[in-house]
Amino acid sequence: SKLIVRRLLLVLPLLFTTMATSASSKLSKAVKQQYMDLPQGDQVQAMYIWIDGTGEGLRCKTRTLDSEPKTIEDLPEWNFDGSSTYQSEGSNSDMYLIPQAMFRDPFRKDPNKLVLCEVLKYNRKLAETNLRQMCKKIMGMVQNQHPWFGMEQEYTLLGTDSHPFGWPSNGFPGPQGPYYCGVGADKAYGRDVVEAHYRACLYAGVKICGTNAEVMPAQWEFQVGPCEGIDMGDHLWIARFLLHRVCEDFGIVASFDPKPIPGNWNGAGCHTNFSTKEMREEGGLKYIEESIERLAKRHQYHIRAYDPKGGLDNARRLTGHHETSNINEFSAGVANRGASIRIPRSVGQEMKGYFEDRRPSANCDPYAVTEALVRTCLLNEESEEPVKYK
């Protein structure tokens, strides 16, 4: 009888799980495919993608090109209405899209393109959430050190009602423990989305290098890298765009909220792995330790740079619990997932490699994160504000 009760406890939550999905996802994909299979001649669809005024959201729109672009220089500038993207007032709303990086389009397929753009205001000055240009300048100052990055993007799958995907409608799943890298319908929630996103990234040319189910059910992670310099931000933003588009097809939502569910559930971060040529060579541990010492003296500057609200989002996540450090304290250690900076055990043994900054939030801007690391570790900045270079 105890066995029957235990089995019922496992099955009952699944019986009361109803998932809110979008109306668009219920439209016939077979009907759509009839049109997607039509020839398009020599013309190409280019989807322009940009970061909106929230610093987190992505927007996109498509234009026709007369031939397939081979380089960024082949792509024309464009414009959009910034008053509808939290980026300008209606009385002066034209803003410019400046193409910066091009990828293959996994939804429309070759020869169609995805185009990541910077945003300029009507006077051609940087939009407030355009952090790419300064990041690129900083990366250019240290290009001889070959800074490599790898970012571990955690996210949570939600229904359109903001309820975690696969969770009981009026309750919670079993406690954390069996879900991390889990296998099985009662442990892995939403793997179809993960597989589709992975293949879309590979097709597009995004440097995705892995994925896994995370500690909280319906929480997943993908890793992008190693990428050098500005490529890290470009590839992570496009990977995020692809995830949103894949989820759109499935009728659910990908959230990068750093703490989507309060209480005894893990938050979502974007752990950032960093190294230079010197760190990767023999005796590189010395340079890793020097960088960690510099980071220790500039903790609050990094906390402000590591989420789009200047640390307020991360305050909900960096509590010192659930594999996080305390937001008010800096710490470092070998193989310590409760520290601000983790040195992997293999790095400690081989005396070279990289370190992991575990502080960035899931909704961070990768341009801000990578720029901050270079400023502190390689340009030796120490003040609470970034140095202005000519």
pLDDT, tens digit, 9 for 90 and up, residues 13-48: 544 456 789 999 999 999 999 999 999 999 999 999
pLDDT band with cut points at 50, 70 and 90 for residue 374:
very high
- pLDDT at 15 (0 to 100): 45
Q: Could you please state the CATH topology (level 3) that the domain comprising 138-379 is classified under.
A: Creatine Kinase; Chain A, domain 2 (3.30.590)
Q: Which two tokens stand for residue 321?
A: 């619990």
Q: Which two tokens stand for residue 40?
A: 């398009």
pLDDT band with cut points at 50, 70 and 90 for residue 91:
confident
Q: Which two tokens stand for residue 7?
A: 């089995």
Pick one of 3.10.20.70, 3.20.10.10, 3.90.550.10, 3.30.2420.10 as the CATH number of 43-129.
3.10.20.70
151 DSSP β-pair partners: 224, 272
When mean pLDDT is compared across 95-109, 329-343, 362-376, the lowest value belongs to 329-343
- The whole-angstrom separation of Cα 140 and Cα 293 is 24
- pLDDT at 48 (0 to 100): 98
- pLDDT at 226 (0 to 100): 98
- Comparing 346 with 171, which gets the higher pLDDT? 346
Residues of the chain with CATH 3.10.20.70: 43-129
Q: Averaged over 241-264, what is the pLDDT?
A: 97
Decide if pLDDT at 202 tops 60. Answer: yes
Tokens 């010492």 belong to 293
Burial of 6 (0-12, 13-18, 19+ CB in 10 A): exposed
- pLDDT at 310 (0 to 100): 95
- The whole-angstrom separation of Cα 76 and Cα 209 is 31
Pairing of strands 113-120, 44-51: parallel
When mean pLDDT is compared across 43-52, 112-121, 296-305, 315-324, the lowest value belongs to 315-324
Nearest-10 crossing angle of helices 366-377, 285-296? 110
Residues of the chain with CATH 3.30.590.10: 138-379
Decide if pLDDT at 10 tops 80. Answer: no
Give 181-199 pLDDT, tens digit per residue.
Answer: 999 999 999 999 999 999 9
Q: Which two tokens stand for residue 133?
A: 């240009």
- The whole-angstrom separation of Cα 363 and Cα 155 is 9
pTM check: above 0.75: yes
Q: Averaged over 263-269, what is the pLDDT?
A: 95
Q: State percent of the chain over pLDDT 70.
A: 95
DSSP secondary structure code for residue 361 in this structure: B
Q: Which two tokens stand for residue 140?
A: 């250019």
Question: What's the mean pLDDT when you consider all of the chain?
Answer: 94
